[in-house]
Amino acid sequence: MVNVTYDPSGDLNWFDPSTGTTWVYNLGDIAWVLASTALVWIMIPGVGFFYSGLLRRKNALSMIWMSMMTLAVVSFQWFFWGFSLAFSDTADKYIGDLRYFGLKGVLQQPSVGSDRIPSIAFCVFQLMFAAITPMIAIGAAAERARLGPLMVFVFVWTTIVYDPIACWTWNPNGWAFIMGGLDFAGGTPVHISSGTAALAISIYLGRRRGWGTERLAYKPHNTTYVVIGTVFLWFGWFGFNGGSALSANLRAIQACIVTNLAASVGGLTWMLWDYRLERKWSVVGFCSGAIAGLVAITPGSGFVGSPAAVLFGFMAGTVCNFATQLKYVFGYDDTLDIFASHAIGGIVGNILTGLFAQKSVAGFDAITVIGGGWLDHHYIQLGYQLADSVSGLAYSFVLTTIILWTMHFVPGLRLRASEDAEILGIDDAEMGEFAYDYVGLDLAAGPGGGRGHDFRDDTHTHGDVPLSAGGREPRHVHMHKEESLESAEEKRAGAVGVGVAAA
């Protein structure tokens, strides 16, 4: 039996017989942390929808699958040893031990994050951070990676890369925590680590077929998915940042305010930078900027005031927008600009936190005491933030590369898909399922339904040409010289008919 009772105020009390201490857990704080857990959970499929919408339709379903697969794999890993490696209270400066292996002993004792909530509540909240981080990273595997080995990669990467960085950042025994680094909700453990891992994955996998040609100059196949993914992410980020206060207090409210403000300014900034080029109001640009703003505000959300959040959003929308050109400068194929949005955005956020962190804002919870940033004349804080950023970036890149190349030489674990699978599409080659069942809809329309019509792929994707409504022959729509060299199978890969029009 768990020795818990309720006091006259309704709070949950646990008596620790080993020390004779009674711990008081606030039910409102527990409720807020559990609600925030659910909010962060919805972000994980949100990443899947966001990524899926940006890709070609022949790879759309596999990215949504990746989000659910990652959640499941990391949930087991976190139970197995992940939580213990990151948050055991007997951890060293870099990584924890196996004290809480299999979540043994993780229940009613105070959490390492706050003594106002039990360890089990903190555990499930932090699980969602551990799950979304590799999902952000493996977006770099889009359109050219095998799905089976990705499951192994997620388990190994979370163990070797995420858990140590989370430990040194948030565990009271971690070196960055002791040094005085400020990272409220995951600038380094989540965004810099995942963004840098995405860079390593992009370099390892190499370029997709047609990289640098018009064949890959396609537009997102489903802009609605991009918006839906952004909505899930923005919505969930209130729990991501606000929940990191681990209490329903003024600091959590402030974190929610600056989160929404930075996202809004980031979206507007990115969209305006894009408008200067094409004189078009881009919803994809707005969504990209909003996520960049959310990434940047993450480490500082519990430390900075509302005026600073405007600068966070503006700088993220500007720097991350221009950082998307890095892949052309250095020649790597980062399909979804994950390094530019998350790693660069996380660094921007860490640096700005070092400049604009305030003692007064951190003290909104009446508990936290910090030295502040440059606004409070605590100039060394910028050095702490830079040290934390560089350490996370270097560690993630090197260890991710080692994991990838180790798997490369293990039979059956090589990540790179074959050229035929890339041509056909990962959905068909690896899953045998599709995001859009056009053939089924065509058959439902009756014999010959819709046949004879000539449709253009709504993504305007060069080399991603749809079939006739009957699903037999590719229509040569808007063809270019280099496309004439592609196999008939590649033309089939763009879509499995467009019978939806007939239906």
Q: What is the pLDDT of residue 482?
A: 34
Give Cβ neighbours of residue 265 (< 8 Å, ≥ 6 apart): 293, 309, 310, 312, 313, 314, 317
Q: How far apart are CA 181 and CA 353, in angstroms?
A: 10
- What per-residue confidence (pLDDT) applies to 469? 32
Per-residue model confidence (pLDDT) at position 472: 32
Residue with tokens 């974190």: 255
Distance CA 196, CA 192 (A): 6
Q: What is the pLDDT of residue 359?
A: 95
Q: What does the alpha-carbon distance between residue 395 and residue 139 come to, in Å, rounded to a whole number?
A: 19
> Quick one: pLDDT at residue 466?
34
Q: What is the DSSP letter of 244?
A: G
pLDDT of residue 233: 98
pTM score: 0.87
Element (H, E) at 441: helix 438-444
Name the strand (E) or helix (H) holding 4.
Answer: strand 4-6
Q: How far apart are CA 46 and CA 16, in angstroms?
A: 41
pLDDT for the residue 501: 33
Residues 330, 201 contacting (CB under 8 angstroms): no
- Go through 41-70 and write b for each residue having 16 or more CB atoms within 10 A of its CB, e for each that does not: bebbbbbbbbbbbbbbbbbbbbbbbbbebb
448 residue type, one letter: G
**214: Cβ contacts below 8 Å, ≥ 6 apart:** 462, 480, 482
Predicted local distance difference test score (pLDDT) of residue 447 = 52
- DSSP per-residue codes, 55-85: S-GGGHHHHHHHHHHHHHHHHHHIIIIIHHH
Q: What is the pLDDT of residue 2?
A: 76
What radius of gyration, in Å, describes the C-alpha atoms of the chain? 24
Per-residue confidence (pLDDT) for residue 219, from 0 to 100: 87
Domains defined for the chain, CATH in brackets? 27-408 (1.10.3430.10), 439-503 (no CATH)
Helix axes 344-356, 380-408, angle to 10 degrees: 160
Q: Which residues of the chain have pLDDT under 50?
A: 439-445, 448-503
Q: What is the pLDDT of residue 278?
A: 84
Q: Are 422 and 209 in contact (CB under 8 A)?
A: yes
Give backbone dihedrals phi and psi of 320, rounded to 5 degrees, phi first. Answer: -65, -35
DSSP at 279:
S
Alpha helices (H) along 190-340: 193-205, 223-242, 250-278, 283-297, 306-323, 326-330, 338
- From the list 73, 158, 161, 172, the residue with the least C-alpha distance to 122 is 172
Residue 438: per-residue pLDDT: 59
- Report helix angle 306-323 to 283-297, nearest 10: 120
Residue 257 CA to residue 259 CA, distance in Å, equals 5
Angstrom distance (rounded) from CA 83 to CA 63: 26
Residue type, 242: G
Helix, strand, coil % in the chain, rounded to nearest 5: 60, 5, 35
CA dist 370 and 181 (Å) reads 10
* The Cα angle at residue 207 between residues 206 and 209, in degrees rounded to 5: 135
What secondary structure letter does DSSP report for 107?
S
Taking the C-alpha atoms of residue 198 and residue 212, their distance in angstroms, rounded to an integer, is 19
